Amino acid sequence: MRLIGKLVATLLVLILLGATVFLTMMHTRFATPMMVWLFNTVSPYQLEAEQVVYDIEEPWRLSLNQLRLQPRAAETPSEPQTPFTANQLTLWLSPSSLLAGHWHFDTILLDGLNLSADSASLPVPAELSSQRLALSNLTWHSADITLSEGEVQLDNWHFRASDPRPFWQQFTGNFQIAARTLRWQQFPVEKLLLDGNYTAPALTLYGFSFDWQHAGVNGQLELDTRVKALQLHQLTVSDLQLQQGDELAALQTWLHHWTQAGGTATLGRLDMLDISLELPSLALNHASLSLENWHWPQSAYQQPEAWLSFSAESGSWQALTFTDPLLELAFTPAQVTIKGASVNALEGYGRAAGILTPESLQLDSLVLKGLKVFLPPHWQQTARTAFAHWPTIRIDSLDIGYSQLVDTAPASPWHLTGLNLKGQDLLLRRENQPGLWQGSLTAGAGAASFNTINLTGPYLAMAAEQGQWQLSEATLPFADGLLNAKGTIDLNTAGRPWSLQWQGDSLPAALLAQWLQLPLPVKGKLDTQGQLKGLAANRLSLAHSLDGNLTASLREGTLSQPAAQLWQHWQQTGQPIVTEPTDLSAAPAQAITTTETATDKPAVATIATNTTPAKAPAASVTITPLAITSDRGRITVAPMSLHSGPLQAGLEGKWDMADPAAQQLEWQASYPCRQPDSENRSASTGSRQQLVQRWQGDQHTVLLSPCEGNNI
């Protein structure tokens, strides 16, 4: 027993002596070669280090500076690896690590690493753990993430080579990450800070912040990777400046892929402050937006209880500039409530409040004041497309005032100045059918013009009760006359029967040509009356149902030009003048050309007469009353005649609205070959030139009989 005791005591003395010698040498210049030799002897790696630092005052701490570590060449003859290098490796040993079955440390600190996502690039044992892994001055490269000057701390890091996860995910607990720059996919950020916890499958960020596109971004989130649920509790973006839409498109693409893969996302609160955007179709200056409780992939009408608020200093959308937009929306299932919306634009302002649903647009109020609108081409189709989304459209209170509308369409230009509309309890669309189904509406303007015909103070009043739409008053004041009209339409009946009655006194005669496209070159005062009725369900119904009549008589009539000038104008601006080829030899003094009609018909002869009547002052005109009747869409213009000095003319026509090709309107005129003189006072005696203009289908033909030779 004494011998055994002496042997044990001797062994303990030797161990203590060896430890003393070892610790002593660790404080000398032999520490570095001794530790390198010891590590290379007991491990499968080749270690190089410039300096090993150890201090007895911190007995559990060991530092290696400028180290280089790689597997021995004999270990991996066919798979050479890039050496693992670091500016410094500091290990804090733990007494409990002596009882662990693998390498275990209290803390591992690595400074100056350049790593990738490939865990095989770490020359570490098959199992290694640390209470904390700290990486300083880290440079990181992977398919999705590039990081520079990073600082990383991971708690409870436990690396196992058999774990398929990358080494940086093999931890449980808190983590902190900081980086000067980071690029995630297409998003470069600066000054990144992350503070969170990872306990698989849940990731929690207690706080994150970074700079992106000159903006400061911060917030908190939770991510459950098992059920792919992202909860963004709070997100604040300040001073964002965007001049391209690539980043927003990439975010939308990522969100789309996330939701397509079964993921969900919930936004607790988003605050965007002092934002400036300059995109191809949208620009905003100093905008602010707040959004609460938004859920993806649900649509706006599927939100349980969300809220949005928006404001900006100014902006533009396509070609429309605006200032001071304000918008506040509340989202509930199947409903979006417009708490308030207003904007200054088009030299005026507008505001609205109401409710949107998938089936209806219901505005409590709509106010538009002082707008100056130049309508774009095809604005009717654009409006129909915009409102077709809602089968039902209601406006409880409509107030449009002091506004101007201008349509510069060459075919029929018009404008309204000082427009005022007042409406109450309006139902403007029901079951996808537009019209005034319910409510009352009045409209007036300070001045108006329709296809160059001016009006002063036009006024309309209408009302509807359960689809019975009634135009109770339509007053159109002209410079010297007045037109009154009233009408009805039954929107409940499938064919939509309608009727219209009117009476006008002292109307400008020019409206015959400008509004009815009747080529009567007269001025004067027109008295008219008439009535029409038909079906308005569609164009075909109207074409087969239009019944009614129009009569008009002219007072104080004159030609729009002197007769001689008018005749000359007809000759010079008419379409090709068709004659019979056999008559051409009878007019040798006339120039003969050939041309083709606008409808690519065979070439026909054209005669340009050299007879130029002398100019004469405009004279009074006698014209028989105009009478137009319609019987089930078959319209007839009764023959009428025009007399003004030497000029005589007549107009008649008919067409079938169901067959536009059968349309025919004919204008016949004659003018003396020479002006009457002292010996021949009568313009009706002697030879006369004959001119016929005929509109048939889409063709316009002009025929002229010259003074000598042929006749029509």
- The 10s digit of each residue's pLDDT in 349-395 is 999 999 999 999 999 999 999 999 999 888 889 888 888 889 999 99
Q: Span 74-96, mean pLDDT?
A: 69
Q: Which H or E run includes 514? A: helix 511-514
Q: Span 207-230, mean pLDDT?
A: 91
Q: Are 298 and 334 in contact (CB under 8 A)?
A: no
pLDDT of 605 over the 50 cut: no
Q: Are 594 and 576 in contact (CB under 8 A)?
A: no
Residue-level pLDDT at 679: 39
Q: Span 113-140, mean pLDDT?
A: 77
How close are the terminal C-alpha atoms of the chain, in Å? 154
Work out the burial of residue 667: count CB atoms within 10 Å of its CB; fewer than 13 is exposed, 13-18 middle, 19 or more buried. Answer: buried
What band does 188 get if pLDDT is binned at 50, 70 and 90? Answer: confident
Q: Are 670 and 690 in contact (CB under 8 A)?
A: yes
Q: Are 147 and 140 in contact (CB under 8 A)?
A: yes
What band does 52 get if pLDDT is binned at 50, 70 and 90? Answer: confident
Residue-level pLDDT at 102: 66
Residue-level pLDDT at 607: 32
Q: Dig out the tokens for 147 from the structure.
A: 């990081």
Residue-level pLDDT at 326: 97
> Of 118-132, 195-209, 289-303, 490-504, which range is least confident?
118-132
Average pLDDT, the chain: 82
Q: Span 25-40, mean pLDDT?
A: 68
Residue-level pLDDT at 86: 82
| Spatial CA neighbour of 215 closest among 272, 260, 164, 147 | 272
Q: Are 144 and 169 in contact (CB under 8 A)?
A: no
pLDDT of 119 over the 90 cut: no
pLDDT of 562 over the 90 cut: no
Distance CA 498, CA 470 (A): 10
Q: Backbone phi, then psi, for 44, in 5-degree steps?
A: -85, 15
Using DSSP bridges, classify how beta strands 497-508 and 84-93 pair: parallel, antiparallel or unpaired: unpaired
Q: How far is CA 389 from the centre of its chain?
A: 15
Distance CA 638, CA 266 (A): 73
pLDDT of 704 over the 60 cut: yes
| Spatial CA neighbour of 501 closest among 513, 488, 517, 511 | 488
The three-state (H, E, C) secondary structure of 175-203, written as one string: EEEEEEEEEECCEEEEEEEEEEEEECCEE
Residue-level pLDDT at 681: 44
* Range list of H helices, 26-118: 31-42
Residue-level pLDDT at 6: 63
Residue-level pLDDT at 392: 95
pLDDT of 222 over the 90 cut: yes
Q: Span 79-84, mean pLDDT?
A: 64
Distance CA 557, CA 641 (A): 13
